[in-house]
Amino acid sequence: MSDAVTKFKRIVVISDLHLGGTGRVMMSRPDRLASFLGNLLRQVQSDERLELVIAGDFVDFLAIEPWSSWTPEPDLARQKLEHTMSGKPFGTVFDTLRDLVRAGCALTILLGNHDLELALPGVQEALWRRLSAGPHQVHFLTDGRAHRVGGLLIEHGNRYDGANANDWEYLRLISSAHSRAEPSPVALRTSFGSQFVIDHVNHLKAYYPFIDLIQPQNELVALLLLAFEPELIWDWKRICAGYKAQQLQGENPQGRQPGKICQIGASPLDKLDQELQSLFGSAYDQLRQPPQEVGKTELLRAYLDNRKDSLSEILGRGAAIPPERLMKIRVMLRRVLLDDASARLDGPTEQYGKAAERLLKTVEGVQAVIMGHTHLPRKVAVGGGLYINTGTWTDRICVPDNVLQKGTDKTLEAFLRDLLHNRRPDSRATFADARISPAGHVERIDLKEVHEHLSA
């Protein structure tokens, strides 16, 4: 009997690397990732075969110029990847991946919502060439399927995020056409989150270098940016329309975009949040229930309600931030950071934990569900099994608890001033580590930090 049948599988899962971009990139420590990858095989037992799974958002095409929510030109998409793979700062990561694959490690790459271009045949071939490998060594999952390894079910997780769900059906049609050197038969419809990054987040990074570290980009982040930049209200109609279109896309599988988006759990805007409504007024109402047309009167009222200077300008000239502005920012930070439970491994899991619970209860043989996407590491018992979120390898904003409490305006203002000039990266990086028996049973699984060596 072959080793492939008799050996245990050692599965290491990482996600949300967000490699790519220039200047202040999301991952400031690719050397740490390269070192981690270089040590993986040394920790594998003699009766194990190693598989590394990158569970989405491997390369951040949204951060690579020219910015686009989707790069339809196959040559340009390939060039973006090749630029990321060559030289500093990320070349060493791909060098180490090449060595790892050459040494016998299987590599499986799932798509997230920032790296859809990896579905294109020419882009995949460029990665194979860079790693001196082929499809039997480096396997792509590009059609929305979860990756099953015995009792493990692995997926990125954006399937359960209405603002960042992928258009799998059209992506498959485009990839199929490109494999025959045919033009794309359809235009991919990108998510609200991806379009929001291109239209607003990328442009504001020059003023708020930390803003792309608040992930995933969704409707709550849109309100947070509005608190930073009130003049965003002039583009609010288009933002609301984009969010509404994404909602309709999930509700109407018979519409112009085929395929139904499966959403588990409540969207942040499904229920009325009276505090947000009180703070943001008509801007909140329009985002929650976008009208077909936003009248000039409503737009002017929303503008007047939010008419303040840019936060970066206020901080830049050393002026005091108005108390009502600080209140908006504090409330939005609390919402985005889950009331400061973001660092807890047993913290809230929102709709992702609910989805994991359903999968554990209904899919035969599943013992553990692993996701990424949220950038929040989690290890929680649900549905008779385990839900793990692998977190992220990017820098993360670390917000002290006292900043989020009422009556701490001076503390919050000092934090914002410091944040504007210092990204304050959180050095935490996490991964899932599992051992699967030849029969597919999950013998051991854990969520670990990178400073913890892989234990055999």
Q: What is the pLDDT of residues 14-35, one digit of tens each?
A: 999 999 998 788 898 999 999 9
Instruction: Using the structure block, give the residue that is written with the tokens 């700062």.
Output: 89
81-85, 128-132, 316-320, 408-412, range with the lowest pLDDT: 316-320
Structure letter (DSSP) for residue 65: S
> β-strands 430-436, 8-14: how paired?
antiparallel
Is it the case that residue 235 has pLDDT exceeding 90? no
Q: Domain 3-188+344-395+426-449 - what CATH class? A: alpha beta
> β-strands 442-449, 48-55: how paired?
unpaired
pLDDT for residue 394: 92
Spatial contact of 371 and 379, defined as CB atoms under 8 Å apart: no
The string over 202-215, giving b where at least 16 C-beta atoms fall within 10 Å of a residue's C-beta and e elsewhere, is bebbebbbbbbbbb
pTM of the model: 0.88
Residue 20's Cβ-count burial label (10 Å; 0-12, 13-18, 19+) is buried
- Quick one: average pLDDT of 326-340? 81
- Quick one: average pLDDT of 181-208? 90
The better pLDDT of the pair 406, 91 is held by 91
Intervals of CATH 3.60.21.10 along the chain = 3-188+344-395+426-449
Is it the case that residue 173 has pLDDT exceeding 70? yes
State whether residue 110 is helix, strand or coil: strand
pLDDT tens digits, one per residue of 379-438: 999 989 999 999 999 988 777 778 888 888 999 998 888 888 766 566 689 999 999 999
Q: How confident is the model at residue 249 (pLDDT cuts 50, 70, 90)?
A: low
pLDDT for residue 142: 95
The better pLDDT of the pair 249, 181 is held by 181
Average pLDDT of the residues of the chain: 85
pLDDT for residue 146: 97
pLDDT tens digits, one per residue of 214-224: 777 778 888 88
Q: What is the 3-state secondary structure (H, E, C) of 118-150?
A: HHCHHHHHHHHHHCCCCCCCEEEECCCCCEEEC
